[in-house]
Chain A
Amino acid sequence: MTYHFDFSALLPYWPEFARGIWLTLQLSAISTVLGFVLGTLCAIGRADGSRWVKWLVAIYVEAIRNTPLLVQVFIIYFGIATLGLHVSANLAAVIALVINVGAYTCEIVRAGIESVHKSQIEAAECLGLSRVQTYWHVVLRPAIERVYPAVTSQYVLLMLASSITSQISAEELTAVANRIQSDTFRAFETYIVTGVLYLLLSLVVRICLWLFGLAVFVRRRKLGTAI
């Protein structure tokens, strides 16, 4: 049997695709920002917290990094429902993605914090910087700057992983594709188009994060080192 490709069957569905892309971008953007904050706080806790905080963060990170996102999504979506609260699929998706990416960010940022040399901190103390100032100017910002490429890759992966939330019927790109596929019976075409769209999206995310890095890490830009 030969199969005839017919992409024109998908044309009427472009508004649906656009809506899916928009929600995928929203999910990714919100989880990126919140996940970064959560991850950085955890990294600080893991590097400099009390023993209890260190333990809690370690358990959180290991639990998340060693279980599949799909199962985490199910636990959060259905788990919240059994508690008697009703949350929309989209909100559950964001919560799951934030918790997930927070753990990965924590590990990356912690590596950055550990790479800051002790003499830097001592020098900051000698200059009379307060603890908060030292942390912000000497430890955290250079640390994040150093691990920024790794962070970037992690958030591209996050955008791709957001496709998993289609499994709890969050209406992002993959869920839209599934619906169009069952409407048109043009499965191959639908998923090829969706794949290409994800490819473009990952390019867009990469470029956005790169531009963000250029804008934020002024020192590196002046030194002319590549991000």
Chain B
Amino acid sequence: MPTFSLVHLEFLLTAAQWTIGLSIAAFVGGGLVGFVVALARISDLRVLRIAATVYIQLVQGTPLLILLFAIYFGIALLGYTNLPPLIAASAGLIIYSSGFLAEIWRGCIDSVPKTQWQAAECLALTRWQRMVKVILPQAARIATAPTVGFLVQIVKNTSLASVVGFVELAQAGKLINNSIYEPFTVFMIVALIYFAICFPLSTWSRSLERKLNVGRR
């Protein structure tokens, strides 16, 4: 019976790179979509506002797991058989993170003091100028800490990509466990690798938050 060895560790570390890659894809894609949804959420057009709200509620009210299953099996049924797991996993995670990031960023835009909006209007800035030059730079400062915090959620949730057969860290752990059956060792090491990725992000997010609060005091 083989035991846990360096080969396995190497496999896990390779898989961890996929976890990081998937997280980056989810963050960048989710960020782009989420940004648009956040803007739609505060738009003057009622239709856009309602559509964005419904989107956010749908994403936040269903488990990511169901979303991944629906995309993976559903798209195959629509005719695109052999959908690569990477595409299915990224699509699911992008939809998931866009729903949450949109709501986080909407909150940040809303928390820019009303007087700033009014001042921008008094200076006769156009809507575009007001957003780009006045509101967004301030909102971005507020948004940094919660966004980094949400990155931790993204990294952790990439573990669910394993259900559509994508070999990232959690799935690699499952595969190794199937061959050597040492679940405790294997998953502890998997957990440690996740921790090594997430803990610095959490710490960073917290220190950003502290800095922001100092500026406000």
Contacts and interface: CB of A to CB of B under 8 A. Distances in A.
Contacts of A198: 61-63, 66
Interface in A169-184: 174, 177-178, 181
Contacts of B70: 187-188, 191-192, 195
Given A62-B202, A161-B63, A177-B66, A68 B79 contact: no
Contact of B62 (A66, A74, A160, A188): A160
A104 B55 CA distance: 26
A106 B64 CA distance: 24
Interface majority SS on A: helix, strand, loop or mixed? helix
Given A3-B77, A167-B163, A177-B69, A67 B191 contact: yes
Given A75-B187, A188-B70, A192-B70, A66 B78 contact: no
A1 interface: yes
A71 interface: yes
B147 interface: no
Interface stretch (B109-117, B124-132, B135-143, B154-162): B154-162
A166 interface: yes
Interface string B52-87: 000001101111111101100110111100000000
Interface majority SS on B: helix, strand, loop or mixed? helix
Contacts of B160: 68, 70, 164
B176 to A, nearest CB: 12
Given A3-B78, A192-B70, 5 more contacts: A66-B199, A71-B159, A74-B173, A78-B187, A82-B184
A82 B63 CA distance: 30
Nearest to A77: B183
B183 A74 contact: yes
Interface in B181-203: 182-184, 187-188, 190-191, 194-195, 198-199, 202
B65 A174 contact: yes
B202 A160 contact: no
A1 B78 CA distance: 7
Nearest to A191: B70
B194 A71 contact: yes
B177 interface: yes
Interface in A192-227: 192, 194-195, 198-199, 202-203
A90 interface: no
Contact of B170 (A3, A71, A82, A191): A71
A199 B173 contact: no
A69 interface: yes
B152 interface: yes
Given A69-B156, A199-B61, A79 B173 contact: no
Nearest to A1: B79
Contacts of A163: 63, 65-66
26 contacts: A1-B78, A62-B199, A62-B202, A67-B191, A67-B198, A69-B156, A70-B159, A70-B160, A70-B162, A70-B170, A71-B191, A74-B173, A74-B174, A74-B183, A82-B184, A163-B63, A174-B63, A174-B65, A174-B66, A177-B69, A188-B77, A188-B78, A191-B70, A198-B61, A199-B57, A199-B58
